[in-house]
Amino acid sequence: MTPPNPRLLYVDDDPGLARLVERGLNRHGIDVEHASDGATGIERLKQGGIDVVALDQHMPGLDGLATLEQIYRLPMATPPIVFVTASEDSQIAIAALKAGAIDYIVKDTKGDFVPLLHAAVTGALETARMRKARDEAEAEVHASRDRYAALAAEREMLLREVNHRVGNSLQIIASLLHLQASSSNDDDVKAALMNAMGRVAAVAQVHRRLYTSHDLKSVMLNQYLEALLEDLRRSAEGNRMSRLTLNADPIEIDPDRAVGIGIIVNELVMNAVKYAYPNGAGPIHVDLRNRAQDIELVISDEGVGFQAKHDPRSTGMGQRIVSAMAIKLDASVERDPSHTGTRIVINFSPSGKPSPPTPA
C-alpha dihedral (338, 341, 345, 346), degrees to nearest 10: 150
Pairing of strands 284-290, 332-335: unpaired
Cα distance between residue 79 and residue 204, in whole Å: 63
Supply the pLDDT for residue 173: 84
Distance between CA atoms of residues 300 and 344, nearest Å:
6
* Per-residue pLDDT at 163: 67
Strand pairing report for 81-85 and 103-106: parallel
> What is the pTM for the complete model shown?
0.53
Give pLDDT, residue 344: 94
Residue 45 to residues 15, 22, 30, 250, 337, Cα–Cα distance (Å): 19, 18, 17, 66, 92
Backbone angles phi, psi at 126, to 5 degrees: -65, -40
**Ordered per-residue pLDDT tens for the chain, 360 residues:** 677 899 999 999 999 999 999 999 999 999 999 999 999 999 999 999 999 999 999 898 899 999 999 999 998 888 999 999 877 777 888 899 898 999 999 888 788 899 999 999 999 999 888 988 998 899 899 989 988 888 877 877 777 777 677 777 877 887 888 888 888 888 888 878 877 887 787 777 776 665 555 566 778 888 888 888 887 777 655 445 558 899 999 998 888 888 888 889 988 988 888 888 888 788 999 999 998 788 999 999 988 886 654 555 556 777 888 999 899 899 999 999 888 889 999 999 887 654 444 443
